[in-house]
Amino acid sequence: VSGNNRSFFQYKLVLLGDSSVGKSSLALRFVRGQFQEFQESTIGAAFMTQSVQCSDGTTVKFEIWDTAGQERYHSLAPMYYRGAHCAVVVYDISDASTFTRAKSWVRELQRQAPPNIIIALAGNKLDLSHSRQVSEEEASAYAAENKLLFVEASAKTDANVKLIFTRVAEAIPKSD
């Protein structure tokens, strides 16, 4: 972590989850306020930065790392989350298999990532709740058992997108 003092913090945040759950879309919505129906797999840049204000007056600046689609081959290098302070594991509430896969990402993080990493579980595509396959109760119970933050959101409608990142920012211990 570079340049930290009591009012300014910068942290590496990695996005994990199955292909097509909306990782790039959440990042793009949060950082640029945009949504694209046909989001390209790769954004190109290694990471994007965006800040959030915490209720205690501090500012947290995130380096948001998105995969370049390697998760398709289930071979994301541990290098990707090495040094990460936070991880957002994304699934699609309208696709149960992505929730199963999210749980395996959580287990992998618990084994391999830095021990104090803050992990949030994000159920994306909340706008598709008419074809929901993962109940909010099931996901929030799983999150509670595993001490994960939990938010359901929609990159498409912008529902709760900022909330994901604010929750993470506020969960980071700020003492130097």
Q: Which residues bind ligand GDP (CB under 6 A)?
A: 17, 19-25, 36-39, 41, 124-125, 127-128, 154-156
Q: What angle do CA 174, 76, 15 make, to 5 degrees?
A: 40
For ligand GDP, give the closer residue by CB, 39 or 140. Answer: 39
Provide, rounded to whole angstroms, the least separation between the CB of residue 153 and ligand GDP.
7
Provide, rounded to whole angstroms, the least separation between the CB of residue 27 and ligand GDP.
8
Please spell the DSSP secondary structure of 11-41, one letter per residue: EEEEEEESTTSSHHHHHHHHHHS---TT--S
Provide, rounded to whole angstroms, the least separation between the CB of residue 24 and ligand GDP.
3
Question: Please, are residues 58 and 8 in contact by the beta-carbon 8 Å criterion?
Answer: yes
Provide, rounded to whole angstroms, the least separation between the CB of residue 139 and ligand GDP.
15
Q: Which residue is nearest to ligand GDP (CB)?
A: 22
C-alpha–C-alpha distance, residues 75 and 15, integer Å: 14
For ligand GDP, give the closer residue by CB, 162 or 174. Answer: 162
C-alpha–C-alpha distance, residues 61 and 63, integer Å: 7
Q: What strands lie across the sheet with 149-152, from one edge to the other?
A: 47-53, 59-65, 8-17, 86-92, 118-124, 149-152
- The token duo for 8 is 């300014």
The C-alpha R_g of the chain, in whole angstroms, comes to 15
For ligand GDP, give the closer residue by CB, 9 or 120. Answer: 120
For ligand GDP, give the closer residue by CB, 10 or 166. Answer: 166
For ligand GDP, give the closer residue by CB, 36 or 135. Answer: 36
Provide, rounded to whole angstroms, the least separation between the CB of residue 165 and ligand GDP.
15
